[in-house]
Amino acid sequence: MGIGVYWAMTLIAGGPANVAVLLAFGANFGPLVRAGEWWRLVASMFLHGSWLHLLLNGYALFVLGRNVEAFYGRWKLLALFLGSGIAGGVASGLLPNPPSVGASGGIFGLLGASLVFAFRWRGMLDKRVTWVMGTALLPWVVLNLVIGVVFPHIDMAAHVGGLLAGALLALVLSPDALDEVRTGMAPAPPRLLASLSIALLVVSFGAAGVNIFRTRGPDGPVLPPKIETALLEANYRQQFEQIEDRLGSSPGDLETLFLRAQYHTLVKDWEAAIRDYRAMLDKHPDDGRALNNLAWILLEEAPPPLRDREEAERLARRAVEQQPDDPYSLGTLATARFRAGDLSEAAALFARALGQDRPNLGESTDRYLYAIVLQRLGRTEEAQSMYRHAVRQNDADPYRSEAEAALQIQKTPSS
């Protein structure tokens, strides 16, 4: 099934080239699961980030699965795999992890089930079976857990969650082969378990299909702005400890300071973000990124006691001097002139900013503010057109409401 999903992902979206594709097809991501997209806990088990990832998981599943199936039967094997994978996905989603894919939670669940089976039923089993399904697997469990600690990109929570869930499920589910030995009769197929497992697969893959259609764009799947923000937050949280360690050994490293400033901005720790950007400018006074980002924080994002419009404008002008064609710096300076009441210069700067190439989501704020400027200059038709363009680019932009108030537009669900 994993091969079929990978083939479909390659056919429809060119493969797992980026996180938007993986999320469209059902990657596990805590914020989305908590928002009600529980089907990702199942769908993500059949997604893989590369052919190598697929082959390694497929081999592990084949080796473990055939042994577990020999004693538990195919339906209980499926239940163990799905139940462990779901538990691993839940454990992963409880932490601020980036999106995850793969069957490792279910595979670790089969490891846990094998260990419990071998030691729980050792009195009824041949010593070779106890060795193969129990003792021989212990070093592999320890090795994989150590690897998960050493390499931080591995989803350790999913591995541990799956391992524990598989062990617990093995305490509940009785092995079909041993039931047959005890009773002399083949056990009846577990119809309820089979029905639940099939229903989970059908509903989850159906929901993934709907999501693929819903998130489609002209060049492949697209990410809603809120998801982009959540992804950035998860990524930066994961890296924050590494950033702090690097700054401890190299306090003046420009790129590391920039990463920490971005993290503090993302979590809205404005004082820390301002402090980091000032530290960057103390060492590199002409760094355009620090000039522009600090200007924007002091102008628009920081709470009122920390704002300083005059300093923000000075910083923005210096940023434009350093990078005259940078659309973000031009947009920041345009916003500063707009807030100061200089509509003519603001309009000229917004026009320059929007004349440069950048992602659509990066343009929407400038378009909403430019629409306000055009409206106040009496260019109503241009203002309306600019507003509509901004809505098409990002209807969740925080500046939309300000533009609607200025243009006297009543927001509707279809607008």
- Picking from 162, 128, 127, 133, the residue whose alpha carbon sits closest to that of residue 68 is 133
Among residues 104, 204, 329, 364, the one annotated as catalytic is 104
Distance CA 243, CA 258 (A): 10
Among residues 48, 53, 159, 264, the one annotated as catalytic is 159
**Structure tokens of 336?**
């500063």
Q: How many other CB atoms are there within 10 angstroms of residue 271's CB atom?
A: 11
Residue given tokens 């989970």 in the structure block: 200
- Picking from 115, 9, 102, the residue whose alpha carbon sits closest to that of residue 56 is 102
> Is 48 considered catalytic here?
no
Helix (H), strand (E), coil (C) string for the chain = CHHHHHHHHHHHHCCCCCHHHHHHHCCECHHHHHCCCCCHHHHHHHCCCCHHHHHHHHHHHHHHHHHHHHHHCHHHHHHHHHHHHHHHHHHHHCCCCCCECCCHHHHHHHHHHHHHHHHHCHHHCCHHHHHHHCHHHHHHHHHHHHHHHHCCCCCHHHHHHHHHHHHHHHHHCCCHHHHHHHHCCCCCCCHHHHHHHHHHHHHHHHHHHHHHHHCCCCCCCCCCHHHHHHHHHHHHHHHHHHHHHHHHHCCCCHHHHHHHHHHHHHCCCHHHHHHHHHHHHHHCCCCHHHHHHHHHHHHHHCCHHHCCHHHHHHHHHHHHHHCCCCHHHHHHHHHHHHHCCCHHHHHHHHHHHHCCCCCHHHHHHHHHHHHHHHHHCCCHHHHHHHHHHHHHHCCCCCCHHHHHHHHCCCCCCCC
**Bridge-partner residues for 100, per DSSP?**
28
The 10 Å CB-count burial string (b at 16+, else e) for 332-363 is bbbbbbbeeeebeebbebbebbbeeeeeebbb
> Is 104 considered catalytic here?
yes
Which residues carry out catalysis? 104, 159
